[in-house]
Amino acid sequence: MRRAIARVQTRPRLTLLTLVSIDLLCLSLAGISSVWVRLIFDGQFHPSIYWRLWPITGVFILGYALASLYPGIAMSPVEELRRLTLTNTLLYLLMGSSIFLFREVALYSRAAFLMAWLFSMVFVIIGRYGIRALCARQAWWGHPVVVMGAGKTGEMVVRTLQRQPSLGLKPIAILDDDPRTHGSLAGVPVVGGLSMAPMLAKEFKIPYAIVAMPGVARSRLMQLLSRYGRTFAHLMIIPDLFGMASLWVVAKDLGGVLGLEARQQLFLPGPRFIKACLDRGLVVLISLLALPLIALISLMIRLDSQGPVFYRQIRIGREGKLFKAWKFRSMVVNADVALARYLQAHPELKSCWEEDHKLKDDPRITWVGRFLRRTSLDELPQLWNIFIGEMSLVGPRPIVHEEVWRYGDMYDLYLQVLPGLTGLWQVSGRNDVTYEERVNFDAYYVRNWSVWLDIYILMRTVKVVLAGDGAY
């Protein structure tokens, strides 16, 4: 078993160095790009004075460290986005204040300063995402972790960490006092009882441990915390609270009593108002930029097939109110007749249709419609639904009455919010995920909403649309 553990050779220092290096590179590129853009628009601009600011990138690295962006282990992309944005903004404000106090305002361009701030956020976020995509599956990436508990919860934790290597935790051993579990679980060796934890932590320099035993008695849990809290620098506990909000759960000290506060922000009028304002502002901007594209798509549809340019379908909105969702027409006229004939000729596909009401080679879809669906441009007219308050830019996918039963108890959550043009389901596999997974994604979004989650989903949407992931 020790040989199996020894084969997992993570290198935490190299992981940290890689993140710091990519941050330095991206911050430097942000500064250079802002000066270069400013130089293009002003020939009298002198960029040489900006070289003296280069050492300030070291201050940014220190700021990132203070914001716990290093080593960035087990941090969700949404939380990382929030910390990066706030830290960059604060550091640029401090840098601007310092320049003002030292009376050097006249030397530096405000436009270049503003662009450097914007570029730094974009470049660092993209740089971190790219380096994780490139290195996360390498043997050296991340930190080793021991999982305590070889039951269903332990297996779920291990498989989640294996499926998401960008989190930076690599399970190298599982411990469980039940000898019947010893052997292997999800490819990770179950090496023995919990008493082996101190030896493993010392021999393999393991700073992280996860207690995955949600059903354990309170006295036993307190014993584990007391005993192994001195062994591992980071000891995480998986509670028996599956399905609840996870991004914005905050620990509260209630006079010495531990409490967990789950913030359901979308149920509050303030966050709803902020979301509505962002929706209206962004949809006006996007609509103005998309007008030429909308005109071109309309012309292509008219030239490709007979029928109207737009199509409307009744959907269920917030509080159960019905509305007509607009789309570009992507199917032939009399599509239901064409579908019936196709299923009659291909009875083996009938079960696929009844399962998700989708077919990979749908005969109803026109040539232009196939392109529109692949790129999700068929949903562009829903910008109007957003503008009049029937939908949101980000939210659960709008459903029809025939889908209500699939949501089960989650349907009440769906009714609490506006459906969205894009959402967590669309950026997490789209048609490649099961309907049950889609419902879980929608529930997760409602329970964990924040402005940062919306920004993250919108950024992911651009990538998914350009790549055509999971679309048909």
What pLDDT does residue 222 have?
A: 86
Q: Specify the amino acid at residue 239.
A: P
Task: Based on the fold, state whether residues 407 and 449 are members of the same structural domain.
Answer: yes
Distance CA 378, CA 310 (A): 9
User: Over pLDDT 70: what percentage of the chain?
Assistant: 88
Please tell me the distance from the alpha carbon of residue 323 to that of residue 153, in angstroms, as a whole number: 41
Q: What is the mean pLDDT of the segment spanning 9-26? A: 92
Q: What is the pLDDT of residue 113?
A: 82
* Residue at a domain's end among 135, 161, 180: 135
pLDDT in tens, 322-335: 999 999 998 888 77
Of 114, 135, 156, which one is at a domain's C-terminal end? 135
Same domain? For 117 and 168 the reply is no
Cα diameter, the chain = 80
Q: Is the peptide bond before 398 cis (omega within 30 degrees of 0)?
A: no
Return d(Cα 334, Cα 338) in angstroms, integer.
Answer: 7
Q: Following DSSP, what letter does each residue of 345-405 receive, concatenated? A: H-GGGHHHHHHHS--TT-TTB-HHHHHHHHHTGGGTTHHHHHHTTS-EEESSPPB-GGGHH
From residue 117, give the alpha-carbon distance in Å to each of 27, 30, 34, 107.
9, 8, 9, 18
pLDDT of 349 over the 70 cut? no
- The residues with which 328 forms a beta bridge, in sequence order, are 310
Query: Which amino acid would we find at residue 170?
Result: K
Cβ-Cβ contacts under 8 Å for 66 (sequence gap 6 or more): none
Question: pLDDT per residue over 412-445, tens digit each?
Answer: 989 989 999 999 988 887 767 788 888 988 988 9
Per-residue model confidence (pLDDT) at position 287: 93
Closest listed residue to residue 38, CA positions, set 105, 119, 97, 110: 110
Same domain, yes or no, for 17 and 166? no
Please, where are the H alpha helices in 42-75? 56-66
Question: What confidence tens digit (pLDDT) does each residue in 40-54 have?
Answer: 776 565 656 667 777
121 plus 208 within the same structural domain: no
pLDDT of residue 342: 73
Give strand pairing partners of 144: 170
Report the pLDDT value the prediction gives residue 209, as an integer from 0 to 100: 94
* β strands within 244-331, DSSP E: 249-254, 257-262, 310-316, 322-328
Query: Within 10 A of 365 (CB to CB), how many other CB atoms are there?
Result: 20
Cβ atoms of residues 27 and 57 within 8 Å: yes
Q: What residue numbers bound the domain in which 107 lies?
A: 12-135
Residue 249 covered by a domain:
no
Q: How many C-beta atoms surround the C-beta of residue 222 within 10 A?
A: 11
pLDDT of residue 246: 62
Put simply, whether the predicted model's pTM sits higher than 0.95 gets the answer no
Q: Is residue 288 part of a domain?
A: yes
Residue 351 lies in a domain: no
Residues 307 and 191 in one domain: no
Whether 5 is in a domain gets the answer no
Tokens standing for 220?
A: 């036993």
Q: What is the pLDDT of residues 107-138, one digit of tens each?
A: 567 777 888 899 999 999 999 999 998 998 88
Determine contact, residues 271/265, Cβ cutoff 8 Å.
Answer: yes
Domain count, the chain: 3
Q: What is the share, in percent, of the chain residues with pLDDT greater than 90?
A: 41
164 and 311 co-located in one domain: no
**Whether residue 295 has pLDDT greater than 80:** yes
Strands (E), 43-187: 143-148, 169-175, 183-185
- Going by pLDDT thresholds of 50, 70 and 90, the confidence category of residue 74 is confident
- Please indicate, yes or no, whether residues 212 and 325 belong to a single structural domain of this protein: no
**C-alpha to C-alpha distances, 363 to 312, 331, 359, 399, 432, nearest whole angstrom:** 20, 9, 9, 23, 20
CATH number at residue 189: 3.40.50.20
Helices (H), 195-268: 197-203, 218-228
Confidence (pLDDT) at 393: 95
Do both 397 and 451 map to the same domain? Answer: yes
Nearest residue to 21 via CA among 175, 133, 155, 127? 127
pLDDT band at 184 (very low <50, low <70, confident <90, very high): confident
* Contact predicate 427/460, CB 8 Å: yes
Residue that terminates a domain, selected from 135, 161, 178: 135
Q: Is 343 a domain residue?
A: no
Q: How far apart are CA 188 and CA 49, in angstroms?
A: 55
The answer to whether 22 touches 128, Cβ cutoff 8 Å, is yes
Q: What distances in angstroms separate CA 88 from CA 69, 71, 337, one per listed residue?
A: 12, 17, 57
Q: Tell whether 32 is covered by a domain.
A: yes
How far CA 302 is from CA of 298, 330, 368, 383, 408, in Å, comes to 6, 11, 10, 21, 41
Amino acid of residue 441: F
Look at residue 177 and tell me if it is in a domain: yes
Question: Taking phi first (over 0 means left), then psi (-120 to 50 degrees means alpha), and beta for anything else, what does residue 72 get?
Answer: left
My answer on whether 447 and 303 are in the same domain is: yes
Q: Are residues 40 and 102 in the same domain?
A: yes
- Does residue 254 form part of some domain? no
| Same domain flag for 102 and 224 | no
Please name the residues in contact with 116: beta carbons below 8 A apart, sequence gap of 6 or more.
30, 31, 33, 34, 35, 92
For the chain, what is the total number of helices (H) and then of strands (E)?
17, 12
Measured distance CA(371)–CA(360) in Å, rounded: 13
Q: Which residue has the higher pLDDT, 110 or 68?
A: 68
Inform me whether the pLDDT recorded for 386 exceeds 90: yes
Residues 48, 163: one domain? no
